[in-house]
Every structure is written in structure tokens, then in C-alpha cells.
């Protein structure tokens, strides 16, 4: 089990700041198919700390992902297995301010 970021994400980056294992990564902006942030399911320790930080309630435990967002479960995993994966990002440059 892992937590999953759904396509509700507005890319503000708040979740990244609280994750104790640093397993939340923004898709590079220049890659159009990776517009949001993703959780590495192999590293997530299911602590749930990211959930209350999200201003749009975009993060769910895998078993609670709403039906309309179940494709995002595989998208998070695919981002790390076959996509860009971890990279040396500057959070302040990657986040979109919501206020």
C-alpha cells in the first residue's frame, strides 16, 4: 500500500515539505505529460503526513482513491518505474503558489 497523488493536484508543493522519506517528486514542467507531483509507492511509508497539508485534498491512501482517479495509482508508480523519477529539483521553482 502507498499513498497516491491524484490529478486533483494543483502543484503547490506543500506535501513535499512534510514527507519524512522525501518520496514526493514534481514532474518536470517541460514534460507536458508529467504536470503534477507524484509519490514513489516503493518508498512511501504510509505515514499520512502529506494528506492534511494538501489544500485540494488530492492525496489518498491507495485503497481509498475515488473511482474517477484510479488511473492515477498506476501513473504515480509509472512515473518512477518508467518516467523521469527522482531528480534534483528546486521546490520554489516547481511549485505553483495557490494564494
Can you give the binding site for ligand SF4, defined by CB under 6 A?
3, 5, 9-15, 18-19, 21, 23-24, 37, 39, 44-50, 53-54, 56, 58-59
Choice between 9 and 73, CB closer to ligand SF4: 9
* CB 70 to ligand SF4: min, Å: 17
Min. distance of Cβ 26 from ligand SF4 in angstroms? 7
- 91 CA to centre of own chain: 13
Which among 19, 39, 15 has a CA at the least distance from the CA of 27? 39
Query: In angstroms, rounded to a whole number, what is the distance separating the alpha carbons of residues 77 and 83?
Result: 9
CB of 82 to ligand SF4, least distance (A): 20
Taking Cα atoms as reference points, which of 19, 18, 17, 16 lies closest to residue 27?
A: 16
Q: How many Cα neighbours within 13 Å face the side chain of 35?
A: 8
Residue 35 Cβ, how far from ligand SF4 at the closest point, in Å?
10
Cβ distance to ligand SF4 smaller for residue 36 or 67: 36
Amino acid at each position: 500500500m502507498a499513498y497516491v497523488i491524484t490529478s486533483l493536484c494543483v502543484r503547490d508543493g506543500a506535501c513535499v515539505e512534510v514527507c519524512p522519506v522525501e518520496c514526493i517528486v514534481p514532474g518536470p514542467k517541460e514534460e507536458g505529460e508529467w504536470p503534477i507531483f507524484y509519490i514513489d509507492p516503493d518508498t512511501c511509508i504510509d505515514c499520512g503526513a502529506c494528506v492534511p497539508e494538501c489544500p485540494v485534498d488530492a492525496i489518498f491512501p491507495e485503497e481509498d482513491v475515488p473511482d474517477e482517479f484510479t488511473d492515477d495509482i498506476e501513473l504515480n508508480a509509472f512515473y518512477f518505474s518508467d518516467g523521469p523519477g527522482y531528480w534534483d529539483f528546486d521546490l520554489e521553482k516547481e511549485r505553483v503558489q495557490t494564494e
